[in-house]
Structure 1
Amino acid sequence: MPTTRRGLLLAGPALALARPALAAWPDRPVRIVVSFTAGGTTDIIARVVGNLLAERWGQPVVIENRPGAGGNIGTEYVARAVPDGYTLLVASVGPLAVNGALYRSMPYDTRKDLAPITLLAGVPNILVVAAASPVRSVAELVALAKERPGGLSYGSTGVGTSSHLSSAIMDGMAGVQTTHVPYRGAVALNDLLTRRIDFMFATIPSVIEQIRGGRLRALAVSTLRRSRAAPEVPTMEELGFAGFDASSWFGILAPVGTPRDVVERVSADAAAAVRRPEIERQMVDQGADPVGSTPEEFGAFLDAEIARWAGIVRLSGASVN
């Protein structure tokens, strides 16, 4: 901005117009884009938080699902949106930390094109089979996969998602070969329940009711610690997969250039939302661990996760043209 008197005079009207708009934000509906289909964990968390933000802001918060390309389509849409605070993104580890290493060409750069706002929650993946499956343990699943190389199939919520890479890691560590069947979001669950696919690493919130209702059998969780929502389910590490840690997480971001005041307000309000005692209890019961970080903390977390998942992708051998 020019520092001369003439420059300040020219800039004055623009600043005068900008300040009331920023102070009044939001003065119209806010859109939260979800980069996966409705019904999945990303969508569930976005709607819970969106409802609380709407209550806090006195403005509608509209959830818009834009799935596809492992979350890249919705994420790119927000990365290219006007940075005015009225288009936000709720996305997961895949499009934010994994896909940069997985895809040969990316339409956005997480750290250059998106402003981190807050890390909402961490969510373990859980290895599940249909209740009618003869497989009752990870050991039995591995043994069956060794008997039938390539004969067992697993679903995922998309290429490069943590549900995909969790199974790829298990294949590599167990020395087996299974067949990946990617889906556009949580619809993989339907084929798992009807045994069109044999197993799946799913986020706990997307399957916890089916587990509790006896329609799915849980074999292990993908984190180093057991889940508070299913404490009876062992970790993969407990079952001999040393260091197995492939959990999901979910955060809010905005297009880079979004006013800092807006970023800080969304961060504070979203963090307060997931920390409300009744919401925290609800999220923990469904298998999510609420966080609520500052933008700076989320940015540092993203840097660490991008580096960590790049190593996991290399070890898995997964890639997308």
Structure 2
Amino acid sequence: MTSSPAITLRRRIATGALLASTLLGSLAATGAARADEYPDKPVKVVVAFTAGGTTDILTRSVSNLLGQKFKQSFIVENKPGAGGNIGTEYVARSAPDGYTLIVDSVGPIAVNSSLNKLNYDPLVDLVPVIQIADVPNVLVVPPDLPIHNMKEFLAYAKAHSGKLNYSSTGIGTSSHLSSYMLMQLNGVQATHVPYKGADALNDLLTGRVQFMFATIPSVIGQIKAGKLRAIAVSSARRSASMPDIPSVAESGFPGFEAGSWFGMFAPKGTPPDVIAKLNTAINGILPQLKDKMIAEGADPVGGTAADFDTFTHAEQRKWSALIKQMNTKAE
């Protein structure tokens, strides 16, 4: 007996649904197997800055321990340029398979999109894995200035309003934005002198400029040697690297928080199981790095990928609003 067209159609639909279900189940099993096996080949970890800097040193420490844990190579590759944009875009355009990652910082992730027109959106084209460290800035002055704390700094700045110069490592960098925030809160006028590289610190050491917010790792040696005086840190709380130095927030400016941070990201579309595996692994190795990181001026963070995602979006909103107020663009 010949089946009716309606019955034949129903059979075809049922058969198609069964095949689709089988295929999806197979794909899910394959994805799970890949996550279980990850990593089964070397992983590239990009640093968007030059070798020897804070980001590079931190990334190599983390990558070394990840390699030991997974018994697989985590190879650090430096791709500097354009304030971190070149390396960041490279990873954003990479295959989302977990084998190309980046340890990035506040500039490329939360600031640069407000300074330049980018060919990618770091908050869309990258997914957060984990915040590795908070790297506060510290307000430093030459030791010959009569400034030992925030009260004396503000009194001196107001008495010399319009006559002071402050250095930074470039327009839109965390050192620039931290100083601008502090000046705005106090109504003090000072001239921003942007530099590239070590000259920002050199001119502070020689007294050509009077103050600077610098990352703790970049000046901790000069502070210990007495060549610079630390006044306050820009983090919400005191830094473990400098427990005797108060925060700006506790020195009369509650809510003041600025500085740099570092975290790992992967290309959009990287399997969630791979993100989770990396997150768990890095949370597990951070205690091993704690003393080393603190000695170098970084405070370990850790936490979930979701926490880091919320944090990066909040950072982008904060810095975007400030840069809009400043009406500035990158050099």
Which category describes the TM-score, using the shorter chain as reference length?
Answer: 0.7 to 0.9
Letter paired with 1:181: P
> How big is the shift at 1:181?
1.3
Instruction: Please tell me whether residue 209 in structure 1 is matched to residue 210 in structure 2.
Output: no
Unaligned 5+ runs, structure 1: none
What is aligned with 2:118?
A: 106
Letter paired with 2:106: V
1:151/1:18 CA distance change after superposition, 3 Å: same
Tell me if structure 2 keeps the 8 A contact 1:36–1:66.
yes
What is aligned with 1:319?
A: 329
Letter paired with 1:266: L
Question: 1:49-90 deviations in whole A, cap 9, x for unaligned?
Answer: 111111112122222222232222211111111112111011
Within the candidate set 287, 292, 299, 1:282 is matched to 292
What is aligned with 2:276?
A: 264
Tell me if structure 1 keeps the 8 A contact 2:233–2:247.
yes
- SS of aligned partner of 2:231: strand
> How big is the shift at 1:252?
0.3
Count of aligned pairs:
314
> How big is the shift at 1:115?
1.1
- SS of aligned partner of 1:180: strand
Instruction: Please tell me whether residue 301 in structure 1 is matched to residue 314 in structure 2.
Output: no
**Correspondences of 1:141-180 after superposition (within 5 Å):** 143=156, 147=160, 149=162, 152-156=165-169, 158-174=170-186, 175-180=188-193
Question: 1:238-266 deviations in whole A, cap 9, x for unaligned?
Answer: 44445321132211000011122221111
Letter paired with 1:26: P
- SS of aligned partner of 1:264: helix
> How big is the shift at 1:136?
3.5
Letter paired with 1:215: K
- SS of aligned partner of 1:200: strand
Letter paired with 1:297: D
Cα distance in 1, alignment partners of residues 29 and 307 from structure 2: 32
> How big is the shift at 1:197?
5.0
- SS of aligned partner of 1:248: strand
1:234/1:14 CA distance change after superposition, 3 Å: closer
What is aligned with 2:231?
A: 219
Question: 1:136-157 deviations in whole A, cap 9, x for unaligned?
Answer: 445458736864736624022x
What is aligned with 1:89?
A: 102
> How big is the shift at 1:290?
1.4
- SS of aligned partner of 1:269: helix
Instruction: Please provide the CA RMSD for this pair.
Output: 3.2
1:67/1:171 CA distance change after superposition, 3 Å: farther
Tell me if structure 2 keeps the 8 A contact 1:146–1:176.
no
Tell me if structure 2 keeps the 8 A contact 1:169–1:316.
no
1:38/1:20 CA distance change after superposition, 3 Å: same
Which structure has the greater CA radius of gyration? 2
Letter paired with 2:272: R
* Deviates most, 209-218 or 142-151: 142-151
> How big is the shift at 1:14?
7.9
1:297/1:224 CA distance change after superposition, 3 Å: closer
> How big is the shift at 1:267?
1.0
Q: TM-score, normalised by structure 1?
A: 0.83
Tell me if structure 2 keeps the 8 A contact 1:28–1:60.
yes
1:122/1:140 CA distance change after superposition, 3 Å: closer
Cα distance in 2, alignment partners of residues 35 and 66 from structure 1: 5
Cα distance in 1, alignment partners of residues 77 and 210 from structure 2: 31
Identity %: 45
- SS of aligned partner of 1:83: coil
> How big is the shift at 1:107?
2.3
Tell me if structure 2 keeps the 8 A contact 1:72–1:107.
no
Cα distance in 1, alignment partners of residues 252 and 327 from structure 2: 22
Tell me if structure 2 keeps the 8 A contact 1:129–1:216.
yes
Q: TM-score, normalised by structure 2?
A: 0.81
Tell me if structure 2 keeps the 8 A contact 1:123–1:288.
yes
Tell me if structure 1 keeps the 8 A contact 2:111–2:320.
yes
Letter paired with 2:324: R
Cα distance in 1, alignment partners of residues 313 and 25 from structure 2: 38
